[in-house]
């Protein structure tokens, strides 16, 4: 087999590059294995979901099975839990919050594939979608729900995820299950949010799964709104203010 003179330099360059990259890949794999072993020895039961070097030299980001983000030095001697912040000429960038936002979006997207949401679709052109973790008995959740028609008219689709703050086995939790299991969940939600009684109903439902999802992504109160990019907005925000923040007007 013969090669043209123009091909030979490229082959040499590719060979040299692969020789340089293979040790780097091997070194990265060794570091990740070392960190994983040290963490699992120090914290029995911990599962590492993913790991990657950060922009800070010698520091690796570690994501665990419970949604936590932590950091380890590449020699696996030091671990720290907290926010990693990059300073720049304009101020600072919270790299950990960026990672949380990305992780939150991925987690919700995966969950959304399973369905089980109570949805209020935008009227006309859909301009934005928000995921709202809600509690039927929460006063500010009811206030937000009272603006549902306005949100939909503004082109915002609202997906409700159940997050009864009192937790499983409580009256509030059972109320959300009854709404979800009703023949018309949207009508039942409207009635319950206005303070009306909803007939008890039970069925296979995703309420506990949605509640656990909320806890996993950092929901601590209701309403909590998750934007399409994964940003978490805790608390009530008026419909027009929310729409303005979404760039709708």
**Are 209 and 173 members of one domain?**
yes
pLDDT digits (tens, 9 = 90+) for 181-213: 999 999 999 999 999 999 999 999 999 999 999
HSE (CB half, 13 Å, CA atoms) of 190? 8
Domain that holds residue 73: 7-82
Residue 183 lies in a domain: yes
What CATH number corresponds to the domain at position 177?
Answer: 3.40.30.10
**Are 124 and 71 members of one domain?**
no
Residue 73 confidence class, pLDDT cut points 50, 70, 90? very high
pLDDT at 45 over 80: yes
Residue 97 lies in a domain: no
- pLDDT, residue 10, reads 55
- pLDDT, residue 12, reads 46
pLDDT at 2 over 60: no
Round to whole Å and give the CA distance between 239 and 222: 16
**Are 133 and 25 members of one domain?**
no
Give just the sign of the alpha carbon dihedral 122, 127, 130, 67: positive
Q: What is the mean pLDDT of residues 68-93?
A: 92
pLDDT digits (tens, 9 = 90+) for 205-240: 999 999 999 999 999 999 999 999 999 999 999 999
pLDDT at 14 over 70: no
Round to whole Å and give the CA distance between 176 and 164: 7
Residue 128 lies in a domain: yes
The 10 Å Cβ neighbour count of residue 223 is 24
pLDDT at 1 over 60: no
The DSSP-derived string for 207-230 is HHHHHHHHHHHT--SSSEEE-TTS
What CATH number corresponds to the domain at position 63?
Answer: 3.10.450
pLDDT at 69 over 70: yes
Query: What are the backbone dihedrals phi and psi of residue 202, each rounded to the nearest 5 degrees, phi first?
Result: -140, 145
pLDDT at 15 over 80: no
**Are 117 and 41 members of one domain?**
no
**Are 72 and 113 members of one domain?**
no
- pLDDT, residue 18, reads 52
- pLDDT, residue 11, reads 47
Place of tokens 């997050």: 163
Q: How many domains, the chain?
A: 2
Residue 144 lies in a domain: yes
Residues known to be catalytic: 135, 138, 141, 165
**Are 56 and 134 members of one domain?**
no
Round to whole Å and give the CA distance between 175 and 192: 8
- pLDDT, residue 43, reads 86
- pLDDT, residue 66, reads 83
Tell me the pTM: 0.81
Residue 146 lies in a domain: yes
Residue 100 lies in a domain: no
**Are 130 and 57 members of one domain?**
no
- pLDDT, residue 67, reads 85
pLDDT at 103 over 60: yes
Instruction: Write out the two tokens for 39.
Output: 């963490």
Q: How far is CA 143 from CA 73, 198, 224, 238, in A?
A: 47, 19, 13, 9
pLDDT at 23 over 70: no
For residue 25, the surrounding DSSP H or E stretch is helix 7-42
Q: What is the mean pLDDT of residues 95-117?
A: 93
**Are 112 and 194 members of one domain?**
yes
**Are 21 and 144 members of one domain?**
no
Residue 2 lies in a domain: no
User: How far does CA 225 lie from the centroid of its chain?
Assistant: 11
pLDDT at 164 over 70: yes
Residue 28 confidence class, pLDDT cut points 50, 70, 90? confident
Round to whole Å and give the CA distance between 79 and 99: 17
- pLDDT, residue 5, reads 52
For the chain, give the mean pLDDT: 90
Round to whole Å and give the CA distance between 50 and 36: 10
**Are 117 and 222 members of one domain?**
yes
Residue 99 lies in a domain: no
- pLDDT, residue 155, reads 97
């Amino acid at each position: 087999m013969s090669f043209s003179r123009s091909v030979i330099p490229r082959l040499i360059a590719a060979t040299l590059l692969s020789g340089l990259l293979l040790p780097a890949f091997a070194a990265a794999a060794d570091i990740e294995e070392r960190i994983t072993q040290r963490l699992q020895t120090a914290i029995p039961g911990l599962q590492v979901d993913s790991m990657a070097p950060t922009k800070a030299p010698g520091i690796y980001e570690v994501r665990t099975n419970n949604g936590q983000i932590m950091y380890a030095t590449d020699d696996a001697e030091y671990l720290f839990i907290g926010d990693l912040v990059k300073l720049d000429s304009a101020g600072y960038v919270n790299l950990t919050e960026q990672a949380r936002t990305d992780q939150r979006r991925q987690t919700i997207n995966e969950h959304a594939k399973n369905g089980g949401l109570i949805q209020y679709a935008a009227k006309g052109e859909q301009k934005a979608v928000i995921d709202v973790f809600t509690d039927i008995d929460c006063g500010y959740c009811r206030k937000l729900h009272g603006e549902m028609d306005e949100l939909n008219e503004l082109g915002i689709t609202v997906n409700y995820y159940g997050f009864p703050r009192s937790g499983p086995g409580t009256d509030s939790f059972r109320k959300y299950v009854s709404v979800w299991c009703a023949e018309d969940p949207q009508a039942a939600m409207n009635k319950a949010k206005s303070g009306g009684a909803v007939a008890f109903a039970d069925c296979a439902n995703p309420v506990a799964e949605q509640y656990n999802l909320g806890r996993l992504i950092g929901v601590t109160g209701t309403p909590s709104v998750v934007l399409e990019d994964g940003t978490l907005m805790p608390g009530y925000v008026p419909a027009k203010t929310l729409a303005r923040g979404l760039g709708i007007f």
